[in-house]
Each structure stands twice: as structure tokens, then as C-alpha cells.
Amino acid sequence: MKRNSLVLAIISLLVLSIVAACGNDDSAAEGKEVSIGYFPNLTHMATIVALEKNYFAEEFGEDIEVTTKTFSNGGLFMEAMSTKAIDVGTVGPGPVLNFYVKNPKYHIISGAVNGGAVLVSSEHSNINELADLDGKKVAIPVIGSTQDVMLRKALKDVNLAATTNGGTVEFFAAAPADTATLFVQESIDAAATQEPWGYILETQAKGKLLLDWESFAWGKESTNTVVTASDRFMENEDFVNAYLRAHVKSVEFIKSNPEESQALVIKHIKDLTGKEIDKEEIEVAFSRMEVTTSVNGEVLQEMIDISVEADYAKSNDIEGLLQLDQLKAIETEK
């Protein structure tokens, strides 16, 4: 019995040692890397410029490895955040809202871009005003996307609704890069899209600007892109402060140096995708959006209300989503 007890004690000690060792490995790795997510497009310019100017590397310091991941839509971004593949980054508010009401582990810690989205009608559609969308097919980037919600807001203003809500306007999910072809093929009648795709539809597919960025949905208060962080990332106050300092630097740089910022965005996207954005396209796109750190909470509330009506979300309770205290403290210091 004594021998058996001794063997059990030794085994227990070995198990505890292994667990402790694993815990030490995890804690050694924890806090050594920050993974930033974003899209390789113009509405994520604040992140792109911060990367090109090395603001993140400077603020996090040489002991922290900054890695990046790019995404093509907000759903994929939020899935990556929910699986801890990324910690923080820029994304449209629509997907954040829809994920938050399911599981409040994500927070908006700053604005990034307002505007930057337009509504364009095709040449063949004979759409001259918003009310003419009755019975038409309109492209959106992704079901549940920010442009989807903005379009629903615009339709409500003229007493129209999506077919999925008993209305007459059909929503058609299509990648923004494909909408010009769809216009030429006469497969869709209009598109709610982000820049520079709106301008491309105007210049390359004979589209008509139905609502510009100052008129579409909430106008200049339309939140296009926000900085979103996981609650796990938020636990590290130093990390949050470092990210926000870099983000604020980037916003200020873009405002003061628009031409250089445009060149940096063109370079960054070409390096990532091999495609070079036309200089004129990016100039027009920049004129149709506003880089900012501000977030309009009332707009976010209305967005989630619309998402509930569309059955994209089951709740409109977003209390706690906005966490702007650290941003305010950093901006006060300046």
C-alpha cells in the first residue's frame, strides 16, 4: 500500500509539473504578439497608413511582434476575432453589431472612416431618384454588411423595403469588384457600394450617382469603418493604448497629408494584391469619405434596430459596445 501511494504521489507530481510547464509556456507566449485585421481597401486607410508609417511597431515596441491579416468582408473578420486569430483592427460596424448582440466580447474603441459609401444606378435601369428603386434589384457587398443596413435605412425614408421584409426591392450580394460587369450585363439595376467602386461604376459602367456620401443613409454621420477589439485584447490596457496612439497618429497624418497618404495606400494595396489603384479613383474616393476617430452612438443604435427588423440580429441591446474612454484620454493628452 505504501509503495502504491508513493507511485501515485510521483505520478501526481509529474502531472502537475507538466501542467505547470504548459502554463508557463502559454504565459510566456501571451502578450508577445498582437494580430491586426483589416481590409485591403480605401475605407481601411487609417490602418494601412499606420502600417506603412510603422506607427504600430513604434507604439508597441520591439518586444511585441505585430502581425497582420487581411479580409474580404466583415463576417470573416469577426469570425477570425471570435476564434482569436486576430485581436484588433478595422471593420464595418454592421458585422460588429450583429456579433456583439450574440456574444458581447467585442468592443468599438474608435472610429476610423465616416462616409465612403454611395448608391449608384445603372444606365439601363431608368432610376433617377430613390423612389424609383421600387421593383428593382440592388447589389450590396454582403448580406448584413454595413452597406446593406445603409440601403435599408435609405429605403425606409421613401417608404420602400427589401423583398425579405415584404417589400419590393431585391437585394443581391455581389463583390464590389464584380458590380461593373453586372451593370454592363444589365443583371442589376443599382449598387450600394463603398469607394472607389462607386466612382468606377460611374466612369467605367455608365452608372449614375443616385446618392452621394453626404446623402446616403446618415450622410456624413454614416459610420463606415471602426476600430474593433476583442475583450481579451481589452484586458491589456497598455496594448489598447499603444494601438490607439498609433491609430490617432495615422488619422492626424492623413488629414494633414492627403496626397502622401493616397500614395501610401496605393503602394500598400499594390504590394498586397498586385493591383494598382488609379490615382484619379483614389482622389475622388478620398473626397467622399472622412477619416476620423469619432463614433456616433445614435447611428449605431439605429443600425442595430434595422438589423433586428431584417432578422440579422435577435436583440438591439448594444450597451457596453462602445468603449471610448482610453481614446478620449489619449486625445486629451495631445
pLDDT above 90: percentage of residues in the chain: 80
- Read off the pLDDT of residues 169-222 as tens digits, 9 standing for 90 and up: 999 999 998 999 999 999 999 999 998 899 999 999 999 999 999 999 999 999
Looking at the structure, tell me whether residues 193 and 327 fall in a common domain: no
Q: Domain count of the chain?
A: 2
Residue 54 burial (CB count, 10 A): 11
- In sequence order, what are the residues at sequence separation of 6 or more whose Cβ sits closer than 8 angstroms to the Cβ of residue 161? 152, 155, 167, 168, 169
More confident: 167 or 18: 167
Q: pLDDT-based confidence at 237, cuts 50/70/90?
A: very high
pLDDT in tens, 131-158: 999 999 999 998 988 999 999 999 999 9
Contacts of residue 118, defined as CB under 8 A and 6 or more positions apart, other chains included, come to 192, 193, 195, 198, 209, 210, 211, 212, 213, 216, 288
- Using the structure block, give the residue that is written with the C-alpha cell 494584391: 273
Helices (H), 88-145: 93-100
In this structure, is residue 2 part of a structural domain?
no
Q: Domain for residue 89, yes or no?
A: yes
Q: Residue 28 falls within a domain, yes or no?
A: no
- Could you tell me if 296 and 247 lie in one domain? yes
| 245 in a structural domain | yes
- For 141, residues 6+ apart whose C-beta sits below 8 A from its C-beta are 73, 147, 148, 173, 174, 175, 176, 193, 194
| Listed residues 194, 220, 246: the one ending a domain | 220
Residue for cell digits 482622389?
283
Q: For the chain, how many residues are written?
A: 334
Q: Is 60 exceeded by the pLDDT of residue 35?
A: yes
Residue 243 identity = Y
Q: Clarify whether residues 303 and 232 are in a common domain.
A: yes
Q: What is the mean pLDDT of residues 250-278?
A: 93
Position 17 pLDDT exceeds 80: no
Please report where in the chains the cell 489619449 appears, as a residue: 330
The pLDDT value recorded for residue 275 is 83
Give the pLDDT mean for 19-45.
Answer: 67
- Please name every residue paired with 274 in a beta bridge, in sequence order, or none if there are none: none
Same structural domain, 111 and 226: yes
Domain presence at residue 1: no
**Residue 8 maps to a domain:** no
Of the pLDDT bands very low, low, confident and very high (cuts 50, 70, 90), residue 334 is low
For the record, the C-alpha cell of 76 comes out as 470573416
269: phi then psi, degrees, rounded to nearest 5: -70, -35
Q: Which structural domain range is residue 216 located in? A: 117-220
Cell numbers linked to 123: 444606365
Report the pLDDT averaged over residues 70-86.
94
Which of 193, 220, 247 is at the close of a domain?
220
Question: Is residue 5 included in any domain, yes or no?
Answer: no
Task: Note the pLDDT of residue 273.
Answer: 86
CA atoms within 13 A on the CB side of 41: 24
pLDDT surpasses 80 at 31: no
Structural contact between residues 113 and 290, judged by C-beta atoms closer than 8 angstroms: yes
**Strand ordering across the sheet containing 170-173:** 170-173, 137-140, 190-194, 117-121, 208-211
Structure confidence at residue 279 (pLDDT): 86
Which pLDDT tens digit goes with each residue over 267-297? 999 998 888 888 888 898 899 999 999 999 9
Q: Which helix (H) or strand (E) holds 70?
A: strand 65-70
Are 126 and 207 part of one and the same domain?
yes
Q: Are 181 and 212 contained in the same domain?
A: yes
Tell me if 26 is assigned to some domain.
no
Whether residue 126 is found in the same domain as residue 215? yes
Q: What is the mean pLDDT of residues 229-239?
A: 96
Are 202 and 267 found together in one domain?
Answer: no
Looking at residue 161, which CATH number applies to its domain?
3.40.190.10
Last residue of a domain, one of 167, 200, 220: 220
Pair (321, 226) in one structural domain: yes
**pLDDT surpasses 90 at 27:** no
**Average pLDDT, whole number, for the chain?**
89
For residues 69 and 216, state if they share a domain.
Answer: no
In 3-state terms the chain splits into helix, strand, coil percentages (rounded to 5) of: 50, 20, 30
**198 in the same domain as 140:** yes
Instruction: Decide if pLDDT at 54 tops 80.
Output: yes
